[in-house]
Structure 1
Amino acid sequence: MKAMMSHAPGGPETLKMTEVETPEPGPGQVRIAVKAAGVNFPDTLIIRDLYQFKPPRPFAPGGEVAGVVEASGENVSNVAIGDRVIAGGVNGGFATHFIADAARTNKIPDAMPFDEAAAFMLTYGTSHYALKDRAKLQSGESLFILGAAGGVGAAAIELGKAFGAKVVAGVSSEEKAQFCKDLGADETLIYPRELDRDAQKALSGEIKKLCGGEGANVVYDAVGGDYAEPAVRALSWEGRFLVVGFPAGIPKIPLNLTLLKSCQIVGVFWGAFTMREPAKNAEYISELFNFYETGKIKPRVTASFPLEEAAAALDLLRDRKATGKVVLNVA
């Protein structure tokens, strides 16, 4: 098989197309002929050894794939050869073939294209877990999203509306704001590329105003950096601040804010959740497919690249130029 492999730590330009032996599935595993692979921000970190997990090299990045089951190991009953499926893991997706645990492999609806399927699980799974499980978002509450035009942020807009919340989308440009409005955001806020203390104070006030004056009941932070503190300051009483990612840097939050607002700072680690609570995760996946089939959510694939151009796809995410979801189409 062919794979875009990381042979040494570095940026997207270090990936090399490599011919390797096609693996055989073991007990409880299936081999998927990959048709499309999702591209996500963690992929830009794992190749630089900056992610929570460090696979032994050489390895292919890529944590989610869509394709067709072409081989099965022993003790597999939930999927069969020929099934159209999605699956994921820490890495291995930027390849023509992928070995997946059958228990974490899901059939996809007949009408779901492979590119949408590859753009589905990580973003919607993360945002669904964040909003439903960690924030317990309620109908009528206000939700402010930092990085709303990215993959997980766009998913959070749709899911926030599906849960009945007022959604305010925070983005860095007019183009991204329009993208979020098209997804259903009730309000948009364009924040500056850089923040000094005055700009942070202004940002906090604008978030409060757009969320109804009292502040946001829930903040979904997929950006971090200097944007996190003003977003925490914009929380309402007993608000919930979701820590999803920090492409702008790991923030330092004054903890006195949590006391003054009686608010919560809540971590969101969907990957660990799927392994620790597989039964609950299966329930959530079922709800996501129901949302898809009833038209409440639909992955927005805004850029597609062939497998050999994986570096260009990763550059879009690293440089924070992507809206929606980026995928690799695998011949």
Structure 2
Amino acid sequence: MNDVKRKPNMPKRLKWYSFRWRIMLLIVILIALPSVYVAYCIHAATRVLPMGSGPAGPNVSSVPFQKIWSEGKVSLIGLGDSITRGLGAQREHTYFELLQENDDVQYMDMKGCGLRHVFPRLEARNYAQDYTVTREHVEKQLPSVPTYPPDVKGVVVITSGGNDLIHDYGRSEPTDGAMYGCSYKQAVEWTEDIKARLAKLIEGINGKFPGGCQIFLANIYDPTDGVSDPQLKGLPRWSDAVKVVSLTNQKIAELCNSFENVHLVDIHSEFLGHGIHCTEFWRKHYHKNDPHYWYYENLEDPNRRGYDAIRRLFLTEMIKVLPAWLRV
């Protein structure tokens, strides 16, 4: 009777080995989570994203194109970077060419919806060049544009500023005109410089058309669909990428608002959900009806469907502006 009896309310002491399954589960989780993430990254970096088929972007009414907008001389001018030049698609499927004349076989819903149908005397010149930044658009492209006589109206399309952000792809320290990897604080100053150069470009173009012109300026899209993870496609990490793109687009919008004849073409919003996360249904910008990739293999430029979307966005803004302007 020397054994000491355990008191009824005294908690039972757990043996150390009763924790083994919990410890093992924790170890498995700690090993599995990084492995799953690494597998996801490898998959994201190597998979071929589907482009899809059919029309891309907003519907465009054919009604405005059933009447002539002007019998006078009109010059369509393209300025800027590789998006306006057309890298990533055959020439006839770039947005600059599609603005003039639709491919009725490829895009049957856009039959007749081209500027040549409403401007019988349209002349078109594209001065845009691949890999160029805003400074080159002012210093090299603008001087190439002739000064037109007063009886010529101008319609100008511009994509500019994107290369200022992505150059030099993280291969050198970020600086004005090659901002990749910069902090938001650095971008505050450099985006003001972008805005100033674009203002100079616009002022210069206005001077080339004494008879008047309307300018359509696109903002900058985000191939990461708002996730800010360009490293998935082999580029260096850039945690502030989305914030910098947003700030740049804010400056472009401010610039458009400061000129009566400059109109914002919002390609940024339309392209969200068509970047490197286009097939991931849990993402904020996932498009159930068109979960497809609108970018070229270089991640910078559109593919054929992306260019279709861009021309529709430009035409949508032009319909709002040009018929009424030319009737005055």
1 or 2, which has the higher strand percentage?
1
Measured against the shorter chain, the TM-score band is 0.3 to 0.5
Relative contact order higher in (CA < 8 Å, ≥ 6 apart):
2
TM-score (ref. length: structure 1): 0.32
1 or 2, which has the higher helix percentage?
2
